[in-house]
Amino acid sequence: MKKLFTRLFTMSALLLAAASTVSAQDAVPSAAYDGPRFPGGPDSLRTFVYRSTRLAAPASDRQLVAQFELKGGQQPQNFKLLPPPRPFKAPLIKAGTAALGPLQAKMPNWAPGTPDPKATAEPKIFLPLDVSRPLASLPYAYADTNPVFPDAVALVPVSQTLSALDYSSHSLQHYIQRSTRYPAAALRQGQQGVVYAYFEVAETGAIEHTEIVGTAGDALDNEVLRALKTLPAATKPAMLQGRPVRVFYVVPLTFKMMMRGGA
């Protein structure tokens, strides 16, 4: 008789809005952003995405997220939309697809960031396509420095290995991984795949606008949302040109059920 075993793990993917690519086990994480950079900086990127989206997509109260890779850490390729949670209307996908065209056609090469020695794939970039908010209120994809979070004292119940939640791609995914369990409902329904979680860190350091922007099933989506609520507020927000700014994060989490034979 076969037994069902489950394993929850996170995929190593660069988060554009995330902090440096240092490991979660590093003793002193850096607050400086050292990921890929858009020509002209985060202000130019925000304006570029906003204008491309507004020209192609009608107003909507829901946002989609575009994903693409940076070949060699520089050249944009393999653009696609993340699958939004249901229910969604066909016009939403149509509008997102229309917005993706200008982004892909006009996206310039990026300046590469510090290489991640543990990376096994090209860096992945996530950009929300949001036409419901004015440009000035939209979060940045990255800033000069990343948010700074409480030290290990606040995180001991979750992980003994983290010295601080520095919002590098490794530490952020590691934290959420330790906070997430495979839901029984998802097991019964056979749900597996990648859940993409979105949230923003405000100018005050507060965690805001948590939502699922790429689904693998409602039970898995709800579990990830629950885990996101455990993220502590930042003690220092992201900084851009000496001022606090709002930044966004897209975190991919993979749920996979493993089948093994047994007596």
Confidence of residue 117 (pLDDT cuts 50, 70, 90): low
DSSP secondary structure letter of residue 36: -
Confidence of residue 58 (pLDDT cuts 50, 70, 90): low
User: Which has more confidence, 48 or 260?
Assistant: 48
C-alpha 191/C-alpha 128 separation (Å) is 25
* pTM of the predicted structure, to 2 decimals: 0.79
- Please give the span between the terminal C-alpha atoms of the chain, in angstroms, as a whole number: 6
Decide: 141 and 17 in contact? Cβ < 8 Å: yes
- In order of 48, 66, 113, 124, 142, the CA distances from 108 in angstroms are 11, 15, 15, 15, 17
Percent of the chain past pLDDT 70, that is, above it, reads: 74
| Helix or strand (DSSP H, E) at 133 | none
The boundaries of the domain holding residue 252 are 3-260
Residue 188 one-letter amino acid: R
Please provide the average confidence, as pLDDT, over all residues in the chain: 78
Task: Give the pLDDT of residue 14.
Answer: 31
Axis crossing angle, helix 90-106 with helix 42-56, rounded to the nearest 10:
130
Closest CA to 122 of 87, 79, 161, 74: 74
Structure tokens at 254: 């993979």
Decide: 73 and 115 in contact? Cβ < 8 Å: yes
Domains: count for the chain = 1
List of residues 6+ apart from 115 with CB closer than 8 A = 21, 73
pLDDT in tens, 137-185: 999 999 999 888 776 434 434 333 344 444 444 567 777 878 889 999 9
Structure tokens at 217: 């099933």
C-alpha 94/C-alpha 160 separation (Å) is 46
> Does the bond joining 87 to the residue before it have cis omega, within 30 degrees of 0?
yes
Residue 211 one-letter amino acid: E
Task: Tell me the three state secondary structure of residue 262.
Answer: coil
Which residue is it, tokens 């000496």? 242
